[in-house]
Amino acid sequence: MSQVFHPSMNAVSRASILGAVVLLIGVSVFGFYIDRSSWMTHQGVVRAQPVPFSHQHHARDLGIDCRYCHTSVTQSEFAGIPPTKTCMTCHSRIWTDAQLLAPVRQSWAEQTPIVWNRVHNLPDFVYFPHDIHVNKGVGCVTCHGRVDQMPLMLQTPTLQMSWCLDCHRRPTMNLRPRDEVFNMDFVIDENVKREFSDASHTVTDQESLGRALIDRYHIPTDGRLTNCYTCHR
């Protein structure tokens, strides 16, 4: 019986299998990094806005509290976008002729809202209530970064599911006293250590403070924070 394939085909077949495996691994690694790249997550990307609003100027230089503009952040799922009236509270008196504020004046004159482009945009199937997080002691910087250092707003974390789960599995590292939630420069000083230390907890660092706040604010540790229904309803 004559041989159908030349013996050299054995080497070709082995090389083909090896090439297929290498290609599969390469595609998987490429997909892994693409999924976590800023092209997919928009992390660190500055979005164009109708007005170049600077959180650095308003929050840091002027010391305006987050709640002045985001009025519903402590009582609602949505933090709230300030209406033009909020902007004009100041800008009807200062920078009244500034060119970059022309869209604000136009919005006020025509009684039409400014259409901002969302920076932190979660999918529709994700349930994220601002009020619960704020009232449980999660600081603004945890999700939004140091906005007081941003001339233009950008997304600091990936906002991917794995990032959310990291916090839900170990919330201690992101908790602070409720009255410090909006403080961009929060540090654990001696006053905080004394206030939150008790018979069950001795506060010395972020981990021990987090454990004390879990008990103080009744944050569940029975697995509910990582239950699918918590974020997907």
Residue 57 vs residues 96, 109, 152: alpha-carbon distances, Å:
17, 25, 10
State whether 65 and 177 are in the same domain. yes
State whether 155 and 217 are in the same domain. yes
Q: 211 in a domain, yes or no?
A: yes
State whether 68 and 183 are in the same domain. yes
Q: Give the bridge partners for 154, in sequence order.
A: 46
What confidence category does residue 30 fall into, taking pLDDT thresholds of 50, 70 and 90? confident
State whether 28 and 68 are in the same domain. no
State whether 184 and 71 are in the same domain. yes
State whether 64 and 27 are in the same domain. no
Under a CB-based contact definition with an 8 Å cutoff, are residues 152 and 146 in contact? no
DSSP state of 101: G
- Between CA 72 and CA 69 the distance in angstroms is 9
State whether 189 and 126 are in the same domain. yes
What confidence category does residue 5 fall into, taking pLDDT thresholds of 50, 70 and 90? low
Q: Percentage of the chain with pLDDT > 90?
A: 81
Question: What pTM did the predictor assign?
Answer: 0.83
DSSP sequence for 48-86: P-SS---HIIIIIIS---HHHHSTTTTTSSS-----HHH
- At residue 34, the pLDDT reads 72
Tell me: the pLDDT tens digits for 62-97? Answer: 999 999 999 999 999 999 999 999 999 999 999 999
Q: 103 in a domain, yes or no?
A: no
- Between CA 53 and CA 65 the distance in angstroms is 15
The yes-or-no verdict on residue 50 having pLDDT over 90 is yes
User: How many folded domains does the chain comprise?
Assistant: 2
- Between CA 106 and CA 108 the distance in angstroms is 5
State whether 130 and 33 are in the same domain. no
Q: 197 in a domain, yes or no?
A: yes
Mean pLDDT of 120-135: 95
The yes-or-no verdict on residue 2 having pLDDT over 80 is no
Mean of per-residue pLDDT scores for the chain: 92
- At residue 13, the pLDDT reads 76
Q: Give the bridge partners for 175, in sequence order.
A: 138
State the CB neighbour count (10 A cutoff) for residue 122: 12
Residue 75 vs residues 72, 79, 129, 190: alpha-carbon distances, Å:
5, 9, 9, 30
Collapsing DSSP to helix, strand or coil, 155 comes out as strand
Among the listed residues 194, 231, 197, the one whose alpha carbon sits nearest the alpha carbon of residue 213: 197
- At residue 139, the pLDDT reads 97
The yes-or-no verdict on residue 7 having pLDDT over 80 is no
State whether 27 and 70 are in the same domain. no
State whether 224 and 135 are in the same domain. yes
Under a CB-based contact definition with an 8 Å cutoff, are residues 206 and 191 in contact? no
Of 143 and 40, more confident: 143
Find the domain containing 215 and state its range. 59-81+120-231
Of 206 and 19, more confident: 206
The yes-or-no verdict on residue 33 having pLDDT over 80 is no
Q: 4 in a domain, yes or no?
A: no
Q: Which residue has the tokens 């603004």?
A: 140
Mean pLDDT of 201-205: 97
State whether 65 and 24 are in the same domain. no
